Amino acid sequence: MRSRVDWHVAAVAVACSSCAAPSLAADNGLYLGAGITDSKIDNIGGSVDLDDTRFKIIVGLRPLDWLGVELNYLDLGNEDVGMSTTARLEGKALAAYAVGYLALDPAPIDFYGKAGLARWELDGSLSSTLGGFSGSDDGTEFAYGAGVQARLGSLAARLEYERFDLSNAGSATLYSLGITWTFL
């Protein structure tokens, strides 16, 4: 009689486990993504601001639930200023981050912080009826950010903030809305 009861208990346990909600654990591995950014660079050369909506490309690896690394290409935007004198300014950056995750279990939500380095470049030109010039500035600076993402299997939607200084050209502040897809 006892073996029959044990068999029924085992059958009920297997049936219940197959009906349970799917796991909400992080989908770890290699991921790709993209986002729309609102980037703002203040006080370029002491007086010019660059404020533009552009894009970012994301490549990352999350080997553990709580730790990952990420590489972002950031289009910081461009700006045309003037009528008789035309100034053009463009910016871009490549940022590498270590990313720490804090899962909000059992919900499929992650809060994360990231810190690393951003290699940035600003290109500018000035032209008028009297002539013109062009120049560029670049550098590598400490970069940091924070965000939240909602996961649905391999797909994640993110909202994040990033910031880094630009030597003598002020600082870059970015807010972005993006998606990532984990495929390996």
pLDDT score for 25: 59
| Whole-angstrom distance, CA of residue 181 vs CA of residue 178 | 10
Angle CA(106)–CA(110)–CA(114) in degrees, nearest 5?
A: 155
pLDDT score for 17: 40
Secondary structure letter of residue 23 according to DSSP: P
| Whole-angstrom distance, CA of residue 119 vs CA of residue 104 | 32
The whole-number mean pLDDT for each consecutive block of 10 residues of the chain, a chain of 184 residues, reads 47 41 68 96 70 95 97 90 70 97 93 98 74 79 98 96 86 96 92
Burial of 152 (0-12, 13-18, 19+ CB in 10 A): exposed
The answer to whether the beta carbons of residues 56 and 37 sit under 8 Å apart is yes
pLDDT score for 9: 42
Phi, psi of 12 (to 5 degrees): -65, -40
The answer, yes or no, to whether the previous bond of 106 is cis (omega within 30 of 0) is yes
- What's at 177, amino acid-wise? L
Q: Is the pTM for the entire model greater than 0.75?
A: yes
pLDDT score for 6: 52
pLDDT score for 8: 45
Residue 155, both tokens: 């797909």
CATH no., domain 26-182? 2.40.160.20
Angle CA(162)–CA(179)–CA(22) in degrees, nearest 5?
A: 120
